Amino acid sequence: MVSKKIYVTRSSMPKIEDYIEEIRPIFESHHMTNMGPIYKKFQKQLINYLEVPELSLFVNGHMALEMAIQALGLREKGGDVITTPFTFVSTTHAITRNGLKPVFCDIKPDDYTMDPDKIEALITEKTVAIIPVHVYGNICDVEAIDRIAKKHNLIVIYDAAHAFGIKYKGVGIGNFGDASMFSFHATKVFNTIEGGAVAFKDKKYAQKLHELKNFGISGQDDVLGIGGNAKLDEFRAAMGICNLRRIEECIQKRKAVVETYDFYFKGVPGLKIQTTQENVTSNYAYYPLYIDKKVFGKSRDDIFNLLKEHNIYTRKYFYPAINEMTCYKDMFSLDTPVAHDVSMNILTLPLYEDLTLDEVKTISKIILK
């Protein structure tokens, strides 16, 4: 048993002195929210880092996705949205809370993203959009999805919660589709404690997103529409500025962890590790390990319990598949065998910048033993 508890993730944080300096102007101005100067500074820095033309900040990733769906007019259209059952439940909730019906497309067994070869068979006259998910830092086949969307005149919104900073063929991942949602939750590669953003190309969405997250307010004297409250405050924006300053160092440390796990698990019968996607600049967001009990001799759940006995806490992520969860299983199709299989056999191992390579070695040897 390891002497201290090792969790599946640990939040990246700046030095406290750096954060204090970043929030000092808040105490001088008392400007804590409502898209203040720190918000605007952070927004500009993020646009530059992600290399996207437009970006709106939100209190969290879920509200960012939910309001992106509304801003792009899908709520008014109604109908079906093709999405994946292998994601965090937030993705599906954002669709259903907008009065839309999720239609689940199965995933690819190699990178766990939506299988584009299975999308067109699901398209009907009711289909209005596709919401794919970049998973574990693996990106979807954006080119194939783009072709399908253009052919059928469908909107594409990517859930890019796992894809912060990733580039495909040198292009920031937030440039694909009509919009992309990023999550800045404390457990992500990059965090603002809680937070999120919508990246988009068409400037006409900027005002709509602004109004939706700010009660529908468009000016001092009138409210043109019905909105909510999903603004990112100045304190979280300041945390984002601090963490963005050190994001490359963070990613490099995560890369070292991933490469160490790969050293131990590559070629082991019954254990499948992620393969590097071609033309993709990774952010090393997660370390999923697919465990084939018939070959390895132990199941995913066996390894989960074994590591827990050693004070090592992993995660069955994502389990169960969305269309097998209590709130959805009686409403939607279960015809997604790959997603079911992966959800039953995948385990995400501890991965964060402060995880030492000795700790990675210990975790790996416990599993192999």
Instruction: Read off the CATH number of the domain in which 95 is found.
Output: 3.40.640.10
9 within a domain of the structure (yes/no): no
Same domain, 259 and 209: no
Mean pLDDT for 236-250 is 98
The CA-CA-CA angle for residues 68, 277, 193, to 5°, reads 45
Higher pLDDT, 218 or 64: 64
pLDDT of residue 270: 98
Split into its structural domains, the chain has a count of 2
Tell me the average pLDDT across 116-145.
Answer: 98
Question: Closest by alpha carbon to 291, among 313, 310, 305, 270?
Answer: 270
pLDDT at 160: 98
Place of tokens 């097998």: 324
Instruction: Please name the amino acid found at residue 9.
Output: T
Same domain, 220 and 322: no
pLDDT digits 0-9 by tens, 26-36: 999 999 999 99
CA 45-284-23 angle, to 5 degrees, is 35
CA 281, 283, 285, 290 dihedral sign is positive
Please state which of the ranges 187-196, 220-229, 286-295 shows the lowest mean pLDDT: 220-229
Confidence of residue 331 (pLDDT cuts 50, 70, 90): confident
**Average confidence (pLDDT) over 90-104:** 97
Question: Sorting pLDDT into bands at 50, 70 and 90, what band is 124?
Answer: very high
Answer with the one of 226, 245, 264 that is the final residue of a domain: 245
pLDDT at res. 22: 98
**Residue 264 predicted with pLDDT over 90:** yes
Which pLDDT score, from 0 to 100, does residue 332 have? Answer: 74
Q: Is residue 257 part of a domain?
A: yes
Q: 255 and 240 in one domain? A: no
241 and 263 belong to one structural domain: no
SS (H, E, C) the chain: CCCCCECCCCCCCCCHHHHHHHHHHHHHHCCCCCCCHHHHHHHHHHHHHHCCCEEEEECCHHHHHHHHHHHCCHHHHCCEEEECCCCCHHHHHHHHCCCCEEEECCECCCCCCECHHHCHHHCCCCEEEEECECECCECCCHHHHHHHHHHHCCEEEEECCCCCCCEECCEEHHHCCCEEEEECCCCCCCCCCCCEEEEECCCHHHHHHHHHCECCECCCCCECCCCCECCCCHHHHHHHHHHHHCHHHHHHHHHHHHHHHHHHHCCCCCEECCCCCCCEECCCCCEEEEECHHHHCCCHHHHHHHHHHCCECCECCCCCCHHHCCCCCCCCCCCCHHHHHHHHHEEEECCCCCCCHHHHHHHHHHHHC
- Tens-digit pLDDT profile for residues 17-27: 999 999 999 99
Residues 139, 257, single domain; the answer is no
- Please give the average per-residue pLDDT across 127-156, as a whole number: 98
Which of 245, 265, 283 represents a domain boundary (last residue)? 245
Residue 52 lies in a domain: yes
Phi and psi torsions of 256, nearest 5°: -65, -40
Task: Please report whether residue 10 resides in a domain.
Answer: no
Query: How would you class 299 by CB atoms within 10 Å of its CB: exposed for 0-12, middle for 13-18, buried for 19 or more?
Result: middle
What mean pLDDT do residues 278-307 have? 98
Residues 44 and 134 in one domain: yes
Model confidence, pTM: 0.97
Specify the pLDDT at position 330. 81
Considering 245, 273, 305, which residue would you say is the last residue of a domain?
Answer: 245
Distance CA 179, CA 201 (A): 7
| 303-317 pLDDT tens trace | 999 999 999 999 999
Residue 347's pLDDT band (boundaries 50, 70, 90)?
very high
- Give yes or no for residue 220 having a pLDDT over 80: no
Per-residue confidence band for 334, with pLDDT thresholds at 50, 70 and 90: confident
Which region among 45-59, 150-164, 330-344, 351-365 has the lowest average model confidence (pLDDT)? 330-344
Kindly report which listed range (207-211, 215-219, 268-272) carries the lowest average pLDDT score. 215-219
Whether 6 is in a domain gets the answer no
Based on the fold, state whether residues 38 and 170 are members of the same structural domain: yes
Q: 179 has which bridge partners?
A: 157, 200
User: Is residue 5 in some structural domain?
Assistant: no
Mean pLDDT of all residues belonging to the chain = 96
Neighbours of 320 (CB within 10 A): 16
Range of the domain at 274: 247-368
Statement to judge: residues 251 and 319 lie in one domain? yes
Examine residue 119 and state whether it is found in any structural domain, yes or no. yes
Pairing of strands 179-183, 280-281: unpaired
Q: What percentage of the chain has pLDDT greater than the value 70?
A: 100
Whether residue 222 is predicted with pLDDT greater than 90 in this model: the reply is no
Residue 189 near residue 176, CB atoms below 8 Å: no
- Residue whose entry in the numeric block shows the structure tokens 């669709």: 95
Pairing type for strands 155-159 and 171-172 reads unpaired
| Alpha carbon distance 229, 211 (integer Å) | 9
Count CA within 13 A, CB hemisphere, residue 224.
Answer: 9
| pLDDT at residue 226, rounded to an integer | 93
- The reply to whether 67 and 173 lie within a common domain is yes
Asked if residue 2 has pLDDT above 90, the reply is: no
Question: Do both 241 and 217 map to the same domain?
Answer: yes
- Listed in sequence order, the residues at least 6 apart from 311 whose beta carbon sits closer than 8 Å to its beta carbon are 1, 2, 3, 4, 5, 6
Q: For residue 2, tell me if it sits in a domain.
A: no
Residues 240 and 270 grouped into a single domain:
no
Confidence bin at 51 (pLDDT 50/70/90)? very high
Please write the tens of the pLDDT for every residue from 55-92.
Answer: 999 999 999 999 999 999 999 999 999 999 999 999 99
Reply yes or no on whether the pLDDT at 219 is more than 80: no
CATH of the domain at 278: 3.90.1150.10
Across 37-46, 213-222, 224-233, 349-358, least confident range: 213-222
Instruction: Report whether 103 contacts 80 (CB < 8 A).
Output: yes
Same domain membership, residue 198 and residue 118? yes
Q: What integer pLDDT is reported at residue 44 of this predicted model?
A: 98
Q: Are 237 and 42 in contact (CB under 8 A)?
A: yes
